[in-house]
Structure 1
Amino acid sequence: MRQDARKNRERILAAAEEVFGSRGATGSTEEVAQRAGVGIATVFRHFPTKEELIEAALLQHFDQLTERAYALAAKEDPATAWRDLVRAMIETGATKLTLASALADREGVPDTAGAASNRLKVAVSEILGRAQDAGTVRPSVTIEEVYLLIRGLAQASATMRPRSDVLERAIDVVLTGLSQSGRLPVDNG
């Protein structure tokens, strides 16, 4: 793929995540094209159907979170990596849920999205394990419990759009509840 075509594709996917991530299936490909700064024909050249565009935006969402998770895992401080990843997943979770629900007319989540979601879960599990080994997160916490809490806040954010300060405090409550000490570690960064 040519560099200009690759850049167009990246802009289209970023715009699609914004449009469909906030408005679901009611978003339009025309609005995606406008936000991406390309013509509608360019959008359809990359993604022949609206559903393919939404699916690609969802896959990119999972892939970006997975890349971020592995980048965070490379940090020396498991506590910071853990906090940053949980925050990112909750803060972007409403977008993910809206994108996934826009594909709900199909017969469930596409296999590609399920596989991308599983790759993310493996990365999150690794960071959870590192945080537990470092004594940051309670050893009894499971990935299923973490995902339930993340999804709960993401679902609430998708349906009621809380103020950012309220969401921040709610994330702090979740992180505190999962922590070994019952207190949030001090962030000296």
Structure 2
Amino acid sequence: MSSTRPLRADARRNYERLLAEARAVFGESGIDASLEEIARRAGVGIGTLYRHFPSREVLLEALLGARFDAQAEAAEALLGEDDPLAALRTFARGMLGTATTFRGLSAATADALNDETSDLYRACRGMRSAAARLVARAQESGQLRADLAPDEVLLMVHAAGWASEHAGDPERLLDLVFAGLCSR
């Protein structure tokens, strides 16, 4: 929503219906699903959808923003864990779960890591910051390769999510990713 003033009751209902239908349509067809279909199923015109959500990324951020924030908070809590690599793996599992919420989301989020103008980039800022600290702790402990940048770790998690959309168990793929990321 672009306005900070409260929505009228009918506009609020439209907003909530659009989110509910977007969740359902993206769940069925992935994030490249038709926005027109979302509007139709919500019982509104496409103009109403675009008034609330000017882009597909804004819609995705509205659907997933709270989950991204919760993962950032969880990552902060994991910074106090005794085993830095286990903490990073726990965070990565949670991130993988979010990245595979909708088909195509892993690729879109990975793309957003390199686009500071992206709504998803901004929505992931807290998660990225916490992930960077988790990566640094695991590197300082000697458990994680020192030559890795935090965004490379995030990209590998998203790669496991993308690959699991095509074939494979996401947890197994994440285990294989970590096998390659760990110090020898």
Q: TM-score, normalised by structure 2?
A: 0.62
Aligned to 1:24, what secondary structure does the other structure show?
Answer: coil
The 1-side partners of 2:178 and 2:14 are apart by 38
* Distance change in 2, residues 1:73/1:133 (3 Å): farther
Paired residue for 1:150?
157
Match runs of 1:1-189 below 5 Å: 1=6, 9=15, 12-13=18-19, 15-20=21-26, 22-28=29-35, 30-31=37-38, 39-41=42-44, 47-48=49-50, 52=54, 54-60=56-62, 61=64, 64-75=67-78, 76-77=80-81, 78-94=84-100, 95=102, 96-97=105-106, 111-158=118-165, 160=166, 162-163=167-168, 166-180=169-183
Q: TM-score, normalised by structure 1?
A: 0.61
RMSD (Å), alpha carbons = 4.0
| Contiguous gaps of at least 5 residues in structure 2 | 1-5
Task: State the shift of 1:9 in Å.
Answer: 4.7
Aligned to 2:144, what secondary structure does the other structure show?
Answer: coil
Aligned length: 166
Identical positions, percent: 25
Task: State the shift of 1:93 in Å.
Answer: 2.6
* Distance change in 2, residues 1:179/1:11 (3 Å): farther
The 2-side partners of 1:82 and 1:43 are apart by 41
* Distance change in 2, residues 1:17/1:100 (3 Å): farther
Paired residue for 2:3?
none
Hey, which bits of structure 1, 4+ residues long, moved more than 6 A? 4-8
Task: State the shift of 1:87 in Å.
Answer: 1.9
| Contiguous gaps of at least 5 residues in structure 1 | 102-107, 183-189
